[in-house]
Each structure stands twice: as C-alpha cells, then as structure tokens.
Amino acid sequence: MTIEEAAPHDLESAVAVIGMSGRFPGAPDLDTYWANLRDGVCSLTTFTEKELLADGADAAELSNPAYVSAQGRLPDADRFEADLFGFNRTEAAALDPQHRVLLETAWSALEDAGYAPLAAPSRTGVYVGGSPTEHALAAGTDPALAASIGALQVRILTDREFLAPWISYRLGLDGPSMTVQTACSTSLTAVHLAVQALLLGECDTALAGGVAIGSVRKQGYVHYQGGIFSPDGRCRPFDEKAAGTVPGSGVGVLVLRRLQDALADGDPVRAVIRGTAVTNDGAGKVGFTAPGVDQQSAAITEAWAAAGLEPTAAQYVEAHGTGTELGDRIELEAASAAFAGGAGIGLGSVKSNIGHADAAAGAAALIKTILMLEHATLVPTVDVTSPAAALRESPLRLVTEAEEWPSRADLPRLAGVTSVGIGGTNVHVVVQEAPERRTRVSTAAHPVVLPLSAHTESQLATLADRLATRLREPDAPDLADVAHTLRTGRVGMPVRAYVVAGTAAEAADQLTASAGGRRDTTTDPDGEAWLRGEEVTWPVLDGAVRRVQLPTYPFAGESYGALTLRRPVAQEPQEPQDAAPDATASTPGDGLEATVSALVIEALDLNGAADLARTYFEAGGDSLTAVHLAGRLRDELDIDVPIQLFLEPITLKDMTMRICEMKQSGAADGALDALLSEFEAES
C-alpha cells in the first residue's frame, strides 16, 4: 500500500514508528537481533560454575540441585559513554546501569529516525519504564556513597522513577516526560501512552520503550516446583512441555510521530501503529499475580476497534508467551476468543529467544514484529517441539520455522502485539507495514560532502566502515538523502572526517579508505571547515531531500561497574568460636537482649557471641541482610528497626542494646525500611 492509497481516516488516527533502537541478549544492535530471530537462535546463556563464582555467586547456592545457571544476559551493560551525556566519573559510577543503557538507546533511536539527538523536534515527549535493580538497592543502603555525593543525589541517579526525566534533561526534550510502571507490560504500556499523547496533541514526537537490567552480573536462579522459572534454562511458549520462563535483560526505544506529520516531513517510516488499548483484570482472576481471560481478550478487541479493523484482519500475533503453564493457557484462551473467525493466524513469542525481559519485554516484542513486517518474514518461536493441543481448535497457529509473510491485495500486512503485567495490566497494539516509500532517482547533480564525527579515532573508523557497508547494499539510499541525514541528523563531535563523492559506490570506497586511515586528495571548503571543528552552514542540496536510516553512533564507553549486594568472595579467616552464644559471656544477657543477639548471630552466620564485638559490616553484613534482619525483628519481635541503625559504625552488641531500647520505648523511624522493603518486594 502506498500513501496515495491510504484512507484519510487511517492517516488521522495512525502513528508512525520512524526510528527504533535496542539491545537484547545476543544482540548489541537491531541488525544482529533480526539475524538471530530469522535464524531461530536461542540467545539464552548457560554459565559455568567458574563464571558464576567469579561474578560473586554463592558457592552454597550453586550446590543446590535446583539451581539453574541460565540467563538472558545483556553483555557490556556496565559500559557508558559518560562524557557524551555530561556526567562526571563519580556521577557515572553512581548512575544505575539501566539509566546508562537507556540514555544511549534513546540517542540511537533518534539517530535511526534521522534526527540529531541534541536537536530533536520541539515538543518531544518521553514515555519509558524500567525494572528493579540490584545497583539501586545497593546504592540506597551504602552510607559511604550517601556521604560522598548526598542521599538525594544517590536517589536521583538510581531510582527508576527518574528514567524518563534524565532522557528529557540530557537530550533537551521539552514534551511530557513520564516514567511508566505496569510490571511486565511496562514498555508496551509506555507505547500506548505515547500514541495517545500524540493523537491528543500533547506532544508532536515521542520516545517510548523500556529497560530491564536487574543486575550486570552473570547469574542464574533457583527453580521451585510450581514457580514461574523453567527447570532447564529454556523457555518454550505454547509448547506442551512448557514449564516456565527464564529471566532476561534488554532495552528498546521507539520514536513515534503522527503518520501525517512523518510523511509530510520526509521521515523514514518503519511501521504504522493503527490502534492500541489497555485493560486490567481487576478482581476477575484467581489471584493477584495470575492473568485473566476476559480483560486480555477485551484489550485485543478494543485495540482492533480503535484501528477501525476486525481482529480477523490479523495475519500474526506476537504474544506475551512466558512459557508458564497457567499464563500460556489463559493467554491462548483469551487470544483465541478475540481472534475467533480468523484462521491460520501466526503466533509467536520472543521470550523463547531472549528470555523474559520484564519491563522491556513489550518493546522487544514490538520491535521484533516491526522487523518481521519490514522483511516480510515470520520468524520461529524456538525450542518448541510439541505445540499446545489447544492450538488445534484455535484460529492461531504457532510459527516454528521461518516463512514468508504473504502480502494481500485488499489489506496491508497486519499484526497484533500483546503484553501482560503482573497485577493485571493488559496491553495490545495493532501494527501495520509501512506505506511504500518510493525509490527516487538520485538527485545529486554533482559530488556531495558526507561529514562524519565521533569521540575517538577508532569510533570514527567504525562508523565509516559501517556506512560504507550500508552504501554497498542493493537498497542503498539516495546519496543526497545520505548527505542530508548526516548533516542534520547527527551531533558534531571532536574527531572528524569527510568524503566527497558523486555515487553511493564511490562514497563507499572513500569511506573504506577513510576507515583505514587513508584520506582522499579531493577536498571541499565546507569539509575543511568541518575538520577544523567549525559550525558549518551546508549548502542546499539539489531536489527534495528526506531523512534515511543510516548506521548510528558506535558507543564505546568504559566500564563504570555496578554496585552489588553480594559479599566479597574471599572472607578473612576467623578464630574458632563457640557455635552458640555463651550464656556466661558478658555480651548478651537473658531475655530480650539474648533473643535479639541470637537473631543477629543467625542472620550474619557468626561463630558466636564474641563476634558481637565487631561492627555490622566488619561481620560481613550487607544491605540485603539488613532488610532480612529488619523484617525478622518486625515479624517475630514486633520491633520496627530503621535500616540506618545497621549502617552506623557501632558494635553489634551496642546495636542489639539499641534495638532492645527501641522495643521498650516504642521509638522507630521506619521510612527507609519501608522504602527498602518495597524494593525487595519488587525485585
């Protein structure tokens, strides 16, 4: 379908996806993500015991027969190009890895849309969300960090409620800025809110998506019978053998504009969002964490109604598909009801490839679907050998092999994407293939200047090499459009280069030479001014130019690490002590003090009462143990102990006496305790 064939109503209510960027397990960029999806690659990693121990795993936990050493991990999540975003080293180290990765992904998404990240359109909104993280909890209970940069600054740099504001601030975006939280459906809910904001005129451009990096460490999980996690480290959605999901990490951001605006401004439309809807199960389910049938089905039918289409128009549904028996069964029942009357509608779930990316799961699913639309290819749900029996009576069929996505004479290619969150928030998005962008005959009447820049020589070489590869592809964009995008859609950085070329092939050869350190002898006055770091007013290019998708900035920041709740692997040897508190010792006495002392000794795995002469941290305490101990004191002894007490440089004996005094006086300040308990519950 071309834009000339689109109905006026479709244009008025449709939103264009003009750019997107993401990083997922096994895929540092979307080209690799697509290759993995197309080839049916499972990107879940199984770690060796040596790898896990080196990253701080507990040897005792690894010896548990139910421990599964698998994860959908995002490598290099601790790296960050801090200078680019105006953070000094101290701030960058404190900044949560989720914030770091999301900032870089937002930058890349804008570049993918052909807009300079520091000169985005006015009234650009941000709608994103994230997951709880180990870094944030560790930072919030680190007294040294709070003393160094201040408790408020710690919170601002680590709390996920500041994910959206940091993007707006560092990129200069002045539209609405909202951090969205609906558990596993967070990022698709963010897309829904962004779409609504665009249609209501609250903003003219929007970034939408989510991030989930619970920890940068290599780690597995303990499988519990009846729990949500897989016993073998593989996720098999809608399979008879489905037994659970696998934790995953990821980040995805999409750039959205009203379709009419995007087409008028020459934006590179990658897909069209025709309709969205959000519902909640309310009390209509067996438990708070359980999904519900009716409102999942309602979200689907409402989204297709918003699109002005019948659900039977769908050719494919990207499901939430966690691979859990209950979740898959209910989702299949809900989807089968919503798409009743259809036949042979493809079904899939990206969680089989990358695991459950929590707050980023919806973005991963939507980006996957858009890539399939762009390549007219349905990709397989992997590790499935026995599709669920319920599919035999369903209008849906599980896609288990890559296959062509057929076109239709009467309708464009259409798909639905579903996301479901613990707590009952269901989201469905209707996605349509982009209107055909007519190929233009080159408008370059004479050679044009292609400017490049980066922070380092190696990054500049990488960028030149990637652009050369793009220009050698059969569908390479028009050279004038390339020049326009490089001149107006990129931020000028200190290390610069340029090439002068009249054709895509010539430009590719020049770029390859530049990447290898060889500069062409052809020069240009504006190009030379660019090399000197000047602000260049580039001459107007011939013809009507438009933005095109080009390789984005190759981030290569250093590692800033991440804070952890794990104890150091090596512990100092201790002198043998009695296994239990010595009743004759002068430290704990009888009654309440002895009871509290016993709890402390047990929680910290101390050798005996003599260890109470050490401070909490000297005894190996950490913030997670503090939360656990405070909870036991509250539940078993009805004592509300503020977390700050564990952080004070006093002996454990003095700490137990202070706790006893709190019980006697009834005084306690549990504000921080409540906050940490909230983090613990959400982790």
Q: What is the predicted pLDDT for the residue at 578?
A: 41
Residues sharing a CB contact under 8 Å with residue 228, sequence separation 6 or more, in sequence order: 244, 245, 322, 324, 327
Q: What is the DSSP letter of 72?
A: B
Pairing of strands 67-68, 271-280: unpaired
Q: What is the pLDDT of residues 427-453, one digit of tens each?
A: 999 999 999 877 665 555 689 999 999
Nearest to 381, CA basis, from 357, 354, 421: 354
> Which residues sit opposite 207 in a β-bridge?
126, 255
Residues sharing a CB contact under 8 Å with residue 98, sequence separation 6 or more, in sequence order: 130, 131, 133, 135, 160, 163, 211, 212, 213, 251
Q: What is the predicted pLDDT for the residue at 599?
A: 87
* Cα distance between residue 304 and residue 286, in whole Å: 27
* Cα distance between residue 421 and residue 288, in whole Å: 11
Are the beta carbons of 336 and 434 closer than 8 angstroms? Answer: no
Q: What is the pLDDT of residues 81-139, one digit of tens each?
A: 999 999 999 999 999 999 999 999 999 999 999 999 999 999 999 999 999 999 999 99
Q: What is the predicted pLDDT for the residue at 550?
A: 98
Q: What is the pLDDT of residues 373-428, one digit of tens each?
A: 999 999 999 999 999 999 999 999 999 999 999 999 999 999 999 999 999 999 99
Are the beta carbons of 312 and 342 closer than 8 angstroms? Answer: yes
Q: What is the predicted pLDDT for the residue at 580?
A: 39
Residues sharing a CB contact under 8 Å with residue 13, sequence separation 6 or more, in sequence order: 199, 274, 275, 306, 307, 308
For the chain, the helix, strand and coil percentages under 3-state DSSP, each to the nearest 5: 40, 15, 40
Q: What is the predicted pLDDT for the residue at 18?
A: 98
Q: Is 523 helix (H, G, I), strand (E, B) or coil?
A: coil
Q: What is the predicted pLDDT for the residue at 304?
A: 98
Furthest C-alpha separation in the chain: 97
Taking the CA atoms of residue 502, residue 504, residue 506 and residue 511 in that order, the dihedral angle to the nearest 10 degrees is 120
Q: Is the dihedral of CA 571, 576, 577, 578 positive or negative?
A: positive
Q: What is the predicted pLDDT for the residue at 64?
A: 94
Residues sharing a CB contact under 8 Å with residue 287, sequence separation 6 or more, in sequence order: none
Q: What is the predicted pLDDT for the residue at 204?
A: 98
Given a cut of 50, the residues of the chain with pLDDT beneath it are: 1-8, 568-589, 667-683
